[in-house]
Every structure is written in structure tokens, then in C-alpha cells.
Structure 1
Amino acid sequence: MNLSACNVSWSAGGGSILEDVSLDVVAGEFLGIVGPNGSGKTSLMSLLAGLRRPRSGRVLLDGESVDRLGRKEIAKRIALVEQQAETGERISARQAVELGRTPHLGPLTPWSAVDEAIVDEAIRNVGMAKLAARLWHTLSGGERQRLHIARALAQQPQILLLDEPTNHLDVGHQIGLLHLVRQQQLTAVAALHDLNHAAMFCDRVALMSGGRIAALGRPCEVLTEERIRTVFGVDVDVEHQGEGRCHIRYRAPGCPRGERPMLKRIS
């Protein structure tokens, strides 16, 4: 299943957020979208999910405009994990994950043992089985984020969209979650803050700047020292690791290339 943004633009508050963005998501790939705050990552994710209509251009799902598809039809094929998605309802962790089965239910397709098994597997995959009975409002931000991922997996989409999915997670769960996404048999697009996460897990990276795509390609092709300096305003050393991968080492302001900053002793 292919997802494409074709020359899409979008505005809010009288200002342009996205301008003439085109992007083809290849079936089966893990695509990372990176860029500074305000570069348009979240807005692009919303357009790809069909939550917003572009000011101009089109978003196509297998060649069909998402504007012509109903929400339930889109939800059967695309799952979105947003940065902040809360509920005031007194539901359990398991019930929150069960909501992922909603697009597949109807008068002729009631809840079944198959749905139960799908939810069980999704909860196990994110390491939340022991907390499944806990009420939502008693869980930490990180635990809720893991359940959002489980809800999306229970939806059984062909395309998984994640908007900064590692927010509120400690480093171990950040790595584990992205590894889990990588192992799924589906197409994934994730807006990420951590450039090393993008370099480690993504097949391709789209670098956004000022509402446009500044570069698109394998991590080692996109995340160059010059581009990172230009777009993020920081100096880095980039170590290439083969198969298109790389590792980024950040330099403190004024620190020469290849040197580590000296820490001043406080007496």
C-alpha cells in the first residue's frame, strides 16, 4: 500500500506551515521525518492521516485521494499515534487498546475471540500486560504512550503513522518501541526529534526545514554535518556505519572538530 503527498500546502493562523511538499512513502519501509520545531512535521503527519485537508495539492492512498474516503475506511488502513491523545473517560488500559478494533466492528461483525487475541498480543508487544487492568488516569505519561502504540497495533493497519512516539519514554523504552515498529510487517512513518534514532531505525529520512523538505534519502545521505549545521544550527561529527547508517556526535559550542569539551571544575 502506497501513501503519497503531492505538492501539498497548508496554512494556519494566517501563516504558511507547509509549502509545496511532495513525498512518496514506499510500501514496507520505515520512513523518518526530522526537523526543528516549527518545521511542519506534525502538520504533514496530520495531512497524511487525512485529519486535515491541504490548502492545495492532494494526499493519495493507493492512488485514491484521502478526501474521498470515510474516516472508518481510512482507519482500516492507517493508524495514527499522536503526541497528545488523552481521554477523560474512566477506562482501563486494556479498554484503551480495545478502541483500536473499532474500525473493524459493525452490526455484522461484533466483538469476537479474534479481537480479544489481537488486543492481547498488542498489549504484550509493548510490555504492558501486567498493567492491563489499571485505570487510564493512574498511569504515567510513558505508560500511556506505550498503550497508544498498542491501540494502533490492535487496529492492524497497513500504514502506521507516529508523531514523536518516544515522547515521555525513557531511553530503554524509546529504543524498544522503535525496534518493535521496525519489526512489524507494515509501512511506518515517524516524526522524530532524535536524529540518531532516525539514523538507527529508518530506511529513509526526510529532513524538513521551513515547511519544505530539504533532503530525502538514506540516513547517511541526508544527515550530513553541513545539513545539520544549516538546519539545526549545531556542529556535529557524523560517523558512517555502512548500509546507509550513521551515528551523530554533537559538539558543544566552540568545541573543535574531534575534541570533547573540557568541564570546568567548580571549587
Structure 2
Amino acid sequence: MTLSADHVSWSAGGADILKGVSLTVETGEFLGIIGPNGSGKTSLMSLLAGIRKPKSGAVLMDGTPIGELGRRAVAQRLAFVEQQAETGERITARQAVELGRTPYLGPLSPWTSQDDSIVDAALENVDMTHLAERFWHTLSGGERQRLHIARALAQQPKILLLDEPTNHLDIGHQISLLDLVQRQDLTVVAALHDLNHAAMFCDRIAVMQGGCLVALGQPREVLTEARIRDVFGVNVDIEQDSGGICHIRFLTRRSQGRTNLARPAPLSVMGA
């Protein structure tokens, strides 16, 4: 299932946030969206999810404008994990994941053992089975984030949208989460902070700057030293391993001033 933005623009408070952005995510593709803070990543994700309506242009799901599809139909095809999605309800971890089955329930479609099995699998996928009966408010930020992913997987979408999904996760769970998402038979769009994660897991990368799409292509084509310096304002060294995956080292003023020394060790890669 494909998802497309066709010259979409969006404004807020009299300011243009997105300016004529066009891209298509192909069936089964993992597309990463990167860019500095304020570049329009989250706004673009909201348009792609159908949460916001573009000022101009259209978002298409398999060629059909998403606005012409009912909310239930969209929810059965697309799941969106937002940056901030909390609840004040006193629910357990398992109940939070069970919400992912909502688009399939109704007077003629009650909860079944199959729904239980789907929720069980989603909890296991994000390593949260052992905390299934814990109340939401007692969980850490990282544990809640993993449950948001589990809820999205329980929704059994064809398209999965993730807005900075690794926030609040330790490095082990960051890698395992992106690896899990990559292995799903899904079309995935993820706004990512970490450029090395984008290079490792994404088939293509879209680069946002000032509300515009300034580059779109495979990681080795898009993640160049010149572009990272232009978009993020930092200097880097980039190496490619034998598999063609880029490895980015961020340079400080101190490291750039050294001579006849080994390359600096990588810093934390927070690119947006």
C-alpha cells in the first residue's frame, strides 16, 4: 500500500510550515524523514496520518485522497505513533495495547480470542509481556513508548507512521525497536533524530529544511558531508562499510583542530 503527499502545504499562526512537499512511499518501503527542529517533520507526519488537512495539495492512500476515506477505514490501514500520546485513564499496559483493536470492533464484531492473540503478540514483540498488568501511570517513559508501538502493531495496519519513535528509549531498545519495525511486512514512514539510525534502517531518506523537501533518495546519496553541514550546521566525517551503510562521525572544533591523530570517536547522533 502506497502513501503519497502531492504538493502539500500547511500553515499555522500566519506562518508557512510546509511548502509544496511531494513524495511517495512505496509498498513495503521504510522511509525516514530527517531535518532540524522546526523543519516541518511533525507537521508532515500529521498530514500523512490524516490528522490535519493540508492548506493545499492532497495526501493519497493507494491513489485515493485520504480525506475521502472514513476514519474507521483509515484506522484499519494506517497506524500513527505520535511523539506525545498520553492518557489520564487508569488503565493497564495491556489495556493500552488493546486500544489498537478498536477499528475492528462493533456491535456485530465483539472482542474474540483472536484479538487476545494479536495483543499478546504485540506485547511480546516489544518485550512488554512481563509488565502487561502494570498500570500506565507507574511505567517509565521508555516503557510507555514501547506500548505505543505495541498498540500500533495490534492495529495490524498496512502503513505505520512513527514520529521520533526512539525518544525515551535506551540504546538497546532503540536498535531493537527499529529492527522490529524494519522486519514487519509494512510500509513505514518514521521521523528520526539519529542520522546513523536513518542510515542503518531506512531504504530512502527525505530531508526537510525550512518546510521544504530538499533531498530524497537512498541514505548514501542523501547523507553527504556537504548536505549535513548545510542542513544541520555541523561538520562530519562519513564512512561507508562493505554493505554500503553510512557511518557518520560528528566533529567538534577541538577534533577538527587536531593533526596527525586518529579520527574522533562518534558523539551522540542527535540530528534534529
**TM-score bucket of the superposed structures, by smaller chain:** over 0.9
1:121 maps to what in 2? Answer: 121
Cα-to-partner distance string for 1:117-173 (whole Å, 9 max, x where unaligned): 000000000000000000000000000000000000000000000000000000000
In 2: Cα distance, 1:226 partner to 1:34 partner: 15
Alpha-carbon separation, structure 2, partners of 1:27 and 1:185: 9
- 1:51-200 matched pairs, under 5 angstroms: 51-200=51-200
Q: Which amino acid aligns with 2:127?
A: G
1:241 Cα offset (Å):
2.2
SS of equivalent residue, structure 2 residue 36: coil
**What does residue 223 of structure 1 align with?**
223
TM-score, normalised to structure 1's length?
Answer: 0.95
Aligned equivalent of 2:268: none
Question: Which amino acid is the alignment partner of residue 43 of structure 1?
Answer: S
What are the superposed Cα offsets for residues 185-238 of structure 1, whole Å, 9 maximum, x if unpaired? Answer: 111110000000000001110011111111111101000000000000000001
Tell me how far apart the structure 2 counterparts of residues 22 and 43 of structure 1 sit (CA, whole Å): 14
Question: Which residue of structure 1 lines up, in the alignment, with residue 264 of structure 2?
Answer: 260
Partner Cα separation in structure 1 for residue 264 and residue 112 of structure 2: 58
Corresponding pairs, count: 261
Contact 2:5 2:21 in 1 (8 A): yes
Q: 2:78 and 2:129 mapped to 1: Cα distance?
A: 25
1:18 aligned partner: 18
Shift of 1:255: 3.0
1:52-82: CA deviations, max 9, x gaps?
0000000000111011112111000000000
Q: Alignment partner of 1:116: what SS?
A: helix
Work out the CA distance in 1 between the residues paired with 2:62 and 2:197: 28
2:24 counterpart of 1:47: no
Percent identity for Structure 1 against Structure 2:
69
Distance 1:260 1:241, change over 3 A: closer
1:4 alignment counterpart: 4
Distance 1:244 1:204, change over 3 A: farther
Deviation at 1:109, TM superposition (A): 1.0
Partner of 1:246: 246
Partner AA of 2:264 in structure 1: R
Distance 1:41 1:152 in 2: 20
- For 1:69 and 1:147, how far apart are their aligned partners in 2? 27
Whole-angstrom CA distance in 1 between matches of 2:263 and 2:100 = 49
CA distance in 2, matches of 1:67, 1:99: 23
Query: Equivalents in 2 of 1:254, 1:232: separation in Å?
Result: 19
CA distance in 2, matches of 1:207, 1:242: 24
Paired residue type of 2:25: V
SS in structure 2 of the partner of residue 45 of structure 1 = helix
Cα 1:32/1:8, change in 2 over 3 Å: same
Secondary structure of the equivalent of 1:59?
strand
User: Which 5+ residue runs of structure 2 have no aligned equivalent?
Assistant: 266-272
Amino acid at match of 1:76: Q
RMSD, aligned CA: 1.2
TM-score using structure 2 length: 0.94
1:36 matched to 2:36? The reply is: yes
- Take 2:209 and 2:173, find their aligned partners in 1: how far apart are those partners? 28
Distance 1:221 1:237 in 2: 15
SS of the aligned residue for 2:8 comes to strand
Return 234-243 or 52-61, whichever deviates more.
234-243
The whole-number CA distance in structure 2 between the counterparts of 1:19 and 1:81 is 24
Q: CA deviation at 1:244?
A: 4.3
